[in-house]
Amino acid sequence: MAKLYFKYGVMGSSKSAQALMCKYNYEQKNYKVLLIKPATDNRNDSKNNTFVRSGIGLKAPCFAFPLNLNLYNYIVDQIQMHGYNVVIVDEAQFCTAKQIEELKEISRQIPVLCYGLKNNFKSLLFEGSKRLIEIADSLTEIKSVCACGRKADANARYINGKIVTDGQEVVIGGNEMYESMCYNCWLDKQKKQ
């Protein structure tokens, strides 16, 4: 059944790996999968930014779209030209609210599975994640663990060894800049600085 799915978690919770495993599973069953991501996500990519990569080394080619692209029109064209019957979106938090609405419209025809962060480094919702939470048919948390053993639900950004809560919402980085942790540890570490 065609639906809009949002599978979210913190940094390092295997979102991209799960997106790639989902793609593989659909393809095993002879579905044609359109794998896309916002061009905002340029971590670990070459100059053409055309791969979804996971932290454990899985990767697959994708289409990296600009934030001004009408996703509905683009995907409908791709369905007509190539016969895609599933769409998987990695790093969906970077989509605009309008693009999420376009994905919702596509999900009336074929399944659309979105993977991404729920909250930014300030523990506030990203625009794309907010809209997905509002209109997705299915929400699934991809759980991860904090160093203390509790469930991780915060994405701490570090600059010069200190957690920061001010600055640009989007600063692309990995383990050298971000750490997932529980909300309690996130608060406690800020107080100890």
pLDDT tens figures, 38-53: 988 666 555 556 888 8
Q: Where are the domains of the chain?
A: 4-143
Given pLDDT bands bounded at 50, 70 and 90, which one contains residue 165? confident
d(CA 95, CA 88): 13
Candidates 27, 91, 101, 134; catalytic one: 91
| Span 4-143 CATH architecture | 3-Layer(aba) Sandwich (3.40)
Q: Are 68 and 121 in contact (CB under 8 A)?
A: no
pTM: 0.93
Q: What is the pLDDT of residue 50?
A: 85
d(CA 11, CA 152): 9
Beta bridge partners of residue 65, listed in sequence order = 38
Q: What is the pLDDT of residue 192?
A: 82
- Read off the pLDDT of residues 175-190 as tens digits, 9 standing for 90 and up: 678 899 999 999 998 9
91: annotated active-site residue: yes
Q: Residue-wise over 92-111: b if at least 16 C-beta within 10 A, else e?
A: bbbbbebbbbbbbebbeebb
